[in-house]
Structure 1
Amino acid sequence: MYTNGIDVRAEGSKGGLSLGWKEGVYVMLRSYSKSHIDIEVMENSEEECWHFIGFYGSPIEHKRKDSWNLLRQLKGNNKLPWLVMEDFNEILYSFEKSGGRLREERQMLAFREALEDCELNGLGFLGQWFTQERGRLPETHERVRFENSKNLFRFNATGC
């Protein structure tokens, strides 16, 4: 059970973010929007400090560029180790999708460039390869490995 939290309300029936944490962890809210919650976390002492971002990439293709720019902005001049827990709503490579409409290479490339610009690396995953499956008929069946099954991270040597 989480004793503390931050909620960003949904707009209508879609979206919304929530972040919870247990007693004994000091959290300072840096910023938030309908797409992110950005906090600084201090554990045990002020020397153990890191940056956490809960991130939700736009589900609308033509707005993903804005998502990647927001991610770059959040990285900014951050000198702390950081962890991004996310649902990017995007794939890195075409083999991460089976069925449905093909992703354009430029779209996946823009995502890969954003991750590179932010020095984010995948931690890996456990479980099934595809993270989303929809469509019951063979002609509408689609399986996708969205990056929402990965936690991404970047570490810097600098502390608080």
Structure 2
Amino acid sequence: METKVSSKRMEAIKRQCGFLNGIDIDAIGTRGGLSLGWKEGLNLTLKSFSKSYIDVEVANEDELDTWRFTGFYGVPVEQKRRESWDLLRFLKSKNNKPWLVTRDFNEILFSFKKKGGRIREERQMASFREAIEYCELYDLGFSGQ
């Protein structure tokens, strides 16, 4: 998740939540920052990370089946979002295991999903949809706020 706090502060928050293991990337001021925490007994292997993502491989208890998890933070500046989509494509090219991406892409797939604020340009959403399709990702939706 995007933390907006230092990794030192995030470490304390993770411990309070019972996550004994984790990876933190510092926020720059009050922007960005990522954290991935997990409890004992889960076998994760860090594959790569940057200010925009944390990419791990998760092994099931039998360690025979593995899958990939990526926490992703899209560039908030509209003119630079293509960098995020290129990064997503790059991450897809590095592995063919089942893949779950949780995120703040800072983009929407369709204009009807937007409530309030400035209207999104169709070309921006189309570029995002193309990246999602290329990566074989599907929006699972959400419930609640």
Letter in 2 for 1:69: D
Letter in 1 for 2:141: G
Unaligned runs of 5+ in 1: 129-160
Q: Deviations over 1:104-148 (max 9, x none)?
A: 1100000000000000011122125xxxxxxxxxxxxxxxxxxxx
Please name the residue that 2:78 is paired with. Answer: 61
Q: State the TM-score, normalizing by the size of structure 1.
A: 0.76
Please name the residue that 2:143 is paired with. Answer: 126
Which residue, out of 82, 100, 110, partners 2:127?
110
- Tell me the matched-pair count: 128
Q: State the TM-score, normalizing by the size of structure 2.
A: 0.84
Q: Which structure shows the higher helix fraction?
A: 2
Please name the residue that 1:17 is paired with. Answer: 34
Over alpha carbons, which structure has the higher Rg?
Answer: 1
Letter in 1 for 2:123: R
Please name the residue that 1:46 is paired with. Answer: 63
1:79 & 1:67 partners in 2: Cα distance? 20
Please name the residue that 1:34 is paired with. Answer: 51
Q: Which structure shows the higher strand fraction?
A: 1
Contact preservation (8 Å) 1:35, 1:55: yes
For the aligned residues, what is the CA RMSD? 1.2
**1:20 offset after TM fit, Å?**
0.4
1:27 & 1:109 partners in 2: Cα distance? 34
Instruction: Please give the secondary structure, in 1, of the residue aligned with 2:46.
Output: strand
Letter in 2 for 1:126: S
**1:77 offset after TM fit, Å?**
4.2
**1:98 offset after TM fit, Å?**
3.4
Q: Deviations over 1:86-107 (max 9, x none)?
A: 1111111111223332211100
